[in-house]
Amino acid sequence: MNLIVLQPLEVDADHRVVLTDDRARHIRKVLKAEPGKILRVGLLNGALGMGTVESVDRDAVVICCEFESDVPPKPRIDLVLAMPRPKVLKRLWAQFAALGVGRIVLLRADKVERFYFDSHVLEPEFYTKRLIEGLQQAKCTHLPDVLIRPLFKPFVEDELDDLFPNHWKLLADPSGERRVSGFQPLKRERVVLAIGPEGGWTPYELDMLQEHGFEMFNMGGRILRTDTACVGLISMVSHLIC
């Protein structure tokens, strides 16, 4: 935990917060903090800052916070991800938040099993906890927005253009003729990256995504596991736009 993430409502008018949960245990047992210790803190979706530990006891840790005036910029990458196997998604949540993703759309595709959408890994209480773990690891405060869309066609036809109006749209698929290195890095633009299921998008899905402005590229001849591919692609693309 490189950052203690606080909910805005937890902080009182004197910038004081009383922690009694996992964060308190972490501060006491892992960081072994004593009164006077300075910790990095951040408001969920808000500013970073420093917190001075005022007291530590078995039940609670009290911290007095001072926040920076500027809120860090939102991550500039969004994701349209064919719903992975729940076991894989479970491992990915924290990594998405740590790598910096603004919005994650989990989409049905032809080669995605319908029952994946019944998994508990799609429950907000489940994934929010893991997303916050990722923020605490990476020292970030922006919680990714999560949209779950169990129908491909209505999402692409009715929502996609409005959600990503001015985005550079990139689509990773083995049938893409360009490598991502063939794209010129762009400054300060938002990107939305579409990543298909293990078996790939169908030709119909590829056509629809391209009709809605996605440019295809390939990652080379290697077939990567979804989790490896997601982390690799987000890293590559974040360096294309920085």
Radius of gyration of the chain (CA): 20
Instruction: Choose one: 51-59, 95-103, 114-122, 162-170; the region binding a copy of itself (CB under 8 A).
Output: 95-103
Q: Return the structure tokens found at 69.
A: 């005036």
Binding to a copy of itself, residues 134-173 (CB under 8 A): 137-140
Please, what's the largest Cα pairwise distance for the chain? Answer: 61
Instruction: Choose one: 144-152, 159-167, 207-215, 231-239; the region binding a copy of itself (CB under 8 A).
Output: 231-239
Using CB under 8 A as the binding rule, whether residue 235 contacts a copy of itself is answered as: yes
Using CB under 8 A as the binding rule, whether residue 194 contacts a copy of itself is answered as: no
Distance (Å, whole) CA 154 – CA 157 = 5
Using CB under 8 A as the binding rule, whether residue 221 contacts a copy of itself is answered as: yes
Using CB under 8 A as the binding rule, whether residue 240 contacts a copy of itself is answered as: yes
Distance (Å, whole) CA 133 – CA 4 = 10
Q: Return the structure tokens found at 213.
A: 């402005």
Using CB under 8 A as the binding rule, whether residue 73 contacts a copy of itself is answered as: no
Segment holding 209, helix H or strand E: helix 203-211
**Positive or negative torsion for Cα 29, 54, 39, 134:** positive
Instruction: Choose one: 16-24, 106-114, 124-132, 226-234; the region binding a copy of itself (CB under 8 A).
Output: 226-234
Binding interface with a copy of itself (CB under 8 A): 2, 94-95, 98-100, 137-140, 179-181, 185, 220-225, 228, 231-236, 238-240, 242
